[in-house]
Amino acid sequence: MSIDFKKYDPGTGYDELISTRGNPRRVSHSLCRYFSGLNDDELAELEQAVDLLIKTLGISFTVYSEGSNIDRSWPLDLIPRMISSREWMQTDKGLKQRLKVLNMFINDLYNDQQIVKDGVFPKDVLDSARNYRKQCEGIQPPFGAWANICGTDLVRDRDGTQYVLEDNLRVPSGVSYMLENRHVMKRVFPELFQDIQILPVNDYTTQLFYMLASLSPRKGEVPEVVVLTPGIFNSAYFEHSYLAQQMGAELVQGSDLLVDSDDCVYMKTIYGLKQVDVIYRRIDDDFLDPEVFRKDSTLGVQGLMRAWRAGNVAIANAPGAGIADDKVVYAFVPDIIRYYLDEEPIIPNVPTYLCMHDDERAYVLEHLDELVVKPANESGGYGLLVGPMATKKELAQFRRLIKNDPRNYIAQPTLNLSTVPTLVDSTVAPRHVDLRPFTLQGKKSYATTGGLSRVALREGSLVVNSSQGGGSKDTWVVNVGDK
C-alpha cells in the first residue's frame, strides 16, 4: 500500500500539511505529489536509507533510565514538516522580541529590580523562585544578555494559532538534531531539494560562534571559546561534541579547566595552561562551581564564578539566567513585554493558570481532568500531568501536590496540538508535533530558520520528548512566492 493522501484524515485539529481530506496546503503541494508517486518498495528503500545514514553518522541520543545502554539511534520521520517563509518571518520577529525582553527582565532582576518596584512582577514570586541566584546580583554581562541561547517551544492549537509553550533558557538542547536531520534529508531526497525552495539551516553554528566570540572580555584577540560538557554520559553529549566540532572550539570537561590565583580560567593542554575567554556551558548552574553552588559537584570548575564576576571570562548562558525559565515567570511574559517595550507580544502565550493564586487554583483543582499541569522548574517532559489522559490515581496525586506546593505548579488548557502526516506502517497517519526554534542574542540577535520539529509517535499522544518515545521531523521553511 503506497501513500494515498486522499485517505489521510486530518481530523478536527489543524494539520500542517493537509488542509482538508485530499487537499494539501499550498506549501506542501509538491511534497505530497512526490510521496504519492512512490511505490511500496521505493518507500521502504527510503526508510532504510534514512535509518542506515543515522546509524553510520552515529546520530544518537541517550535515555537515562536505560542503564549502560547509552546509545539509541535518533528517530527521524521521512515526511518533513513545512512552514511558509512568509509565516516564518513573523515567527522570527516574535522569537527575537521575546528573547530581547527576557534578557532585559533578567538583567533588571539582578540589578535594579525596577519591574518589581513598579508592581508588574510580584515580589513573592521572585522570592520563591528556585532558579534565582543571589550570587549573580550586580552583574552586567556583555550587551545585557544573560540568556544567549534560547530554545523556545512553539505549538499550534486546533484553530491554527501559534503559541509559545515554554522558554528554555538554561541549557536548551536539540539544535544539533535540527542540523543533522537536514543533513540526512538532503542526502536522501536530493531531488526534492532541487524542486522545492527550502531555506537552509546550516549557518547556525557559524552564528553561534560569532555570538559567543562577541562576548569575549579580551578584545582585539581571537578569543578562546570552549564548550563545557558534563561528559559522555550526559544525554546531550552528542550535541556538545557536534557543536564544538562545527565551531572549531575545544570540547572541555570541568576537569580540563582550572581557575588560577589571577582569577582567570585556564585549560590544561599538552603544553601547559592556556587562557579561556568564553565558555559555552552545557552544565546546569547547580554544578558549575562547587565553591558557590553544589559542593559535591565534580562536573564544574572550582572558582569559575569568581572568574566570571571579575569579568575575566564570559559564560553563556550566564549563571542565573534560568530565573526566566520558571513556568510561573512564563505566565508573566506578555506583561513583561508590554512593560519593557510597550509592544504587544508577537507570538502569544498559552493561557496559563497560576496555582499560587487562590481563585485560579480553585479552577484548576475543579477542572484537573481537562488541563495540563506542569511543575515550575522541570524540563524534558518530566513530572507532567495530562488531565484528559490521566488515571484517577494520578489526578488524586496531582491534587495533593498542587495543594502542598501551589507556587510550584501551573496549569494550561489541553491544546489539541497540530498534526503532520507521519509514516506509520508504510502509510501516513496524523501525529502531533511541536517546534523548537533556537534564538541567539549577543551583540546581535539571530533565530534559526525553522527549528527542531518533534513528533509524538503514538497515536493521539501529545508528549513529543525524545526521552518519552517521541520522534522528529525535518522542518522545511519554504519559499512559495508572494501570493
Which residues are near other proteins by CB under 8 A? Answer: 55-58, 227, 232, 241-242, 244-245, 249-253, 255-256, 267-273
Rounded least distance, CB 230 to other proteins, Å: 12
Rounded least distance, CB 290 to other proteins, Å: 19
Rounded least distance, CB 168 to other proteins, Å: 23
* For other proteins, the closer CB: 56 or 404: 56
* For other proteins, the closer CB: 227 or 457: 227
* For other proteins, the closer CB: 125 or 249: 249
Rounded least distance, CB 244 to other proteins, Å: 4
Grid cell 502565550 is found at 349
Which triple of cell numbers denotes residue 120? 508588574
* For other proteins, the closer CB: 139 or 251: 251
Rounded least distance, CB 444 to other proteins, Å: 25
Rounded least distance, CB 250 to other proteins, Å: 6
Grid cell 502509510 is found at 427
* For other proteins, the closer CB: 144 or 231: 231
What Å distances lie between residue 304 and 146, 227, 257, 395, CA to CA?
A: 16, 14, 9, 43
Are 306 and 119 in contact, with CB atoms under 8 Å apart? no
Buried residues in 5-43 as b, exposed as e (16+ CB within 10 A): beebebeebbbbbbeeeeebbebbebbbebbeeeeeeeb
Which triple of cell numbers denotes residue 38? 512512490
* For other proteins, the closer CB: 60 or 128: 60
Rounded least distance, CB 398 to other proteins, Å: 40
Rounded least distance, CB 311 to other proteins, Å: 25
* For other proteins, the closer CB: 242 or 332: 242
* For other proteins, the closer CB: 237 or 330: 237
Buried residues in 250-272 as b, exposed as e (16+ CB within 10 A): bbbbbebbbbeeeebbbbeeeee
Which triple of cell numbers denotes residue 316? 553563556
C-alpha closest to that of 74 among 194, 181, 149? 181
* For other proteins, the closer CB: 136 or 225: 225
Rounded least distance, CB 58 to other proteins, Å: 5
Are 259 and 306 in contact, with CB atoms under 8 Å apart? yes
Rounded least distance, CB 209 to other proteins, Å: 13
Q: Indicate the residue type of 383.
A: G
Q: Indicate the residue type of 37.
A: G
* For other proteins, the closer CB: 270 or 482: 270
* For other proteins, the closer CB: 20 or 269: 269
Rounded least distance, CB 205 to other proteins, Å: 12
